[in-house]
Amino acid sequence: MSRKTAGLAAAAILAAAAAWTAAGPPRRWDSALARPVILRYADHLHAAYADATDRAAALREEIRAFVRRPSLEGLESCKAAWVRARPAYLETEIARFSGGPIDRSPDGPETFINAWPVDESYIDSVDGRPFSGIINDPAGFPSIDEAALRRAHGAGGETHVTTGWHAIEFLLWGQDRSPGPGGGARPFTEFADRGTLPNAPRRRAYLELCADLLVRDLSWVRDQWAPVRPGNYRETFLSLPVEEALSRILTGVGTMAVGELRGERLAAPFTLKDKEEEHSCFSDTTHLDHLHNALGVRRVWEIGVGELARRIDPRLAADVARALEDAIEALRSPDLEPFDQAILGEDDRPGRRAILRALGALDRFNRAFSRLADRLGLPVTTRLP
């Protein structure tokens, strides 16, 4: 590493010393091998965010049609569009934790896009609190507009979420009140004038605005990765020293697979056995979240990181790939649907066995991946030792 840069890079440089002493000096490798991989990663992210933006835009179209004329069919179309749109975003999450536009400080929009957990009562009425939430507070929020929602987001703590995937999910499906399987069951009449809940016009406006903001935030990230836009993140990224760009790529991928997916999204619900641990609890699609996070990791491996790894250490590369495939296979298990039921009971139940397989595979992934980073001489923190 020849020069210091701001942010994560500085931390990366400091951590490098530790990585080098832990693993000995890295095997010599030709950094020219990495250039094409870095370029393909940037192209991949541009395409992945473009896909996520397009699908969010399709969701917005359904929502616009629905709020103009609320109907049962309209609400079902919106839900279907949400389920279709979400995987594309989940596969981009490997770009978090790496100093990129999605979550860089201070302007990264990640929190507006995918904040979780959501305090539903901050947005709308919930069981037993019919007048709670921004939607039912015309005095506090005379106008439901972008400035109001951005300002209120996180204002009273991390769970005061106003926007993003899970806010839209809550508005479309409603609270998950079922003790057993099944997500929320909000009737479309809660959006209809003279329907079943007060403040329907505000509820419609809120939903449409959330869809707008989601598209706007995603397209901003997409443009940061777009080719030939002077001053955007892609330009910065491609001008980084090779080791540093690669270290950012691996830190994002590793943190997503290990800290986020293994730790927060699988281990915590597995340990607590609590329905509330489900990320997409309103729609009951959490199993798809996990699967597409893992598939996002595989995409980065396929676009060249895997090939680079094979050149450095074919056996380690094979270990990483095998562990990842095992995790994906475990996450495809039909026993994981719905996830809030899969986590219940004893460890010999099919759902918990599948989660244990995924946890074990991701542990193997973590070990092999960390060794690989050491071999490359790159400082990579995956949030788990």
Interacting residue ranges for another protein, rule: CB under 8 A = 7-8, 10-12, 14-15, 18, 97, 99, 103-106, 117, 119, 127-129, 154-160, 176-177, 179, 262-264, 267-277, 363, 379, 381, 383-385
**Least separation in angstroms between CB 105 and another protein:** 5
Distance between CA atoms of 172 and 190, rounded to whole angstroms? 10
Given a contact cutoff of 8 angstroms between Cβ atoms, the answer to whether 241 and 32 are in contact is no
Given a contact cutoff of 8 angstroms between Cβ atoms, the answer to whether 122 and 156 are in contact is yes
Give, in order, the Cα–Cα distances in Å from 8 to each of 91, 261, 312: 22, 21, 25
Give, in order, the Cα–Cα distances in Å from 331 to each of 120, 335, 349: 28, 9, 15
Cβ within 8 Å of residue 194, ≥6 positions away? none
**Least separation in angstroms between CB 276 and another protein:** 5
**Least separation in angstroms between CB 119 and another protein:** 5
Distance between CA atoms of 352 and 345, rounded to whole angstroms? 8
Distance between CA atoms of 208 and 163, rounded to whole angstroms? 11
**Least separation in angstroms between CB 33 and another protein:** 26
Given a contact cutoff of 8 angstroms between Cβ atoms, the answer to whether 205 and 212 are in contact is no
**Least separation in angstroms between CB 306 and another protein:** 26
**Least separation in angstroms between CB 363 and another protein:** 7
Q: Which is closer to another protein, CB of 53 or CB of 341?
A: 341
Q: Which is closer to another protein, CB of 154 or CB of 187?
A: 154
Q: Which is closer to another protein, CB of 204 or CB of 265?
A: 265
Query: DSSP per residue over 317-334, as a string?
Result: HHHHHHHHHHHHHHHT-G
**Least separation in angstroms between CB 302 and another protein:** 27
Distance between CA atoms of 95 and 98, rounded to whole angstroms? 6
**Least separation in angstroms between CB 381 and another protein:** 6
Q: Which structure tokens are listed for 271?
A: 């340990």
Q: Which is closer to another protein, CB of 193 or CB of 347?
A: 347
Query: DSSP per residue over 82-95, as a string?
Result: HHHHHHHHHTTGGG
**Which strand (E) or helix (H) includes residue 302?**
none
Q: Which is closer to another protein, CB of 53 or CB of 283?
A: 283
81 three-state secondary structure: helix
Q: Which is closer to another protein, CB of 53 or CB of 136?
A: 136
Q: Which is closer to another protein, CB of 50 or CB of 134?
A: 134
Q: Which is closer to another protein, CB of 79 or CB of 262?
A: 262
Q: Which is closer to another protein, CB of 60 or CB of 352?
A: 352
**Least separation in angstroms between CB 13 and another protein:** 9
Distance between CA atoms of 103 and 224, rounded to whole angstroms? 12
**Least separation in angstroms between CB 314 and another protein:** 26
Q: Which long-range contacts (CB under 8 A, 24 or more apart) does 225-234 make?
A: 225/42, 225/45, 225/46, 225/49, 225/101, 226/46, 227/43, 227/46, 232/101, 233/100, 233/101, 233/104, 234/42, 234/46
Backbone angles phi, psi at 306, to 5 degrees: -60, -45
Q: Which is closer to another protein, CB of 69 or CB of 177?
A: 177
Q: Which structure tokens are listed for 332?
A: 């495809």
